[in-house]
């Protein structure tokens, strides 16, 4: 049924639960089922020049802190997987990568954003649900 599952991660508890759910799903489906783990680093826009701040080193450290625990879980699970990192608007990148990789399913966490916050700010999961070409499973 599902041969390629995209799992966006961001270091949140919801993303961790989504990863665990995707691993369990892949283990029950088929040995050929592949997981693609995607970490999207948001673009950082600064209006003022900063002096003496090493921004990219801090961003790379944060990226590693999100990716390494996921990689360890996946390695222990014996599931076929790849890990990819991109930069940009998370919802747009997630939808693009799901289409590009011909994924059959996206499994992702919900941040539990309240209704007013979602109306005013939107949310990544809501954007993905609206624009993805494949089914999206949201894990709370």
Residue 41 is predicted with a pLDDT of 85
- Residue-level pLDDT at 140: 86
Q: What is the pTM of this model?
A: 0.83
Helix (H, G, I), strand (E, B) or coil at 61: helix
User: Does residue 52 register a pLDDT over 50?
Assistant: no
Query: What CATH code is assigned to 4-43+50-139?
Result: 3.40.50.620
Q: Say how far apart CA 4 and CA 43 lie, in whole Å.
A: 27
pLDDT digits (tens, 9 = 90+) for 91-124: 999 999 999 999 999 999 987 555 555 555 568 8
> Comparing 50-64, 72-86, 115-129, which segment has the lowest mean pLDDT?
50-64
Which of 93, 71, 90 lies closest to 81 in space, CA to CA?
Answer: 71
Domain extents for the chain?
Answer: 4-43+50-139
Over the stretch 7-35, which tens digit does the pLDDT of each residue have? 999 988 999 999 999 999 999 998 899 99
């Amino acid at each position: 049924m599902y041969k390629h599952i995209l799992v966006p991660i961001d270091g949140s508890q919801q993303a961790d639960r989504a990863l665990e759910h995707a691993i369990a799903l892949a283990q029950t489906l088929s040995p050929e089922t592949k997981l693609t783990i995607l970490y999207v680093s948001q673009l950082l826009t600064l209006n003022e020049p900063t002096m003496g701040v090493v921004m990219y080193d801090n961003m790379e450290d944060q990226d590693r802190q999100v990716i390494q625990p996921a990689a360890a879980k996946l390695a222990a699970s014996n599931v076929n997987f790849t890990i990819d990192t991109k930069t940009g608007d998370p919802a747009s990148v997630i939808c693009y990568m799901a289409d590009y990789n011909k994924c059959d399913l996206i499994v992702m966490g919900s941040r539990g954003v309240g209704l007013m916050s979602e109306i005013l700010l939107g949310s990544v999961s809501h954007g993905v649900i609206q624009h993805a070409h494949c089914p999206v499973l949201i894990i709370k």
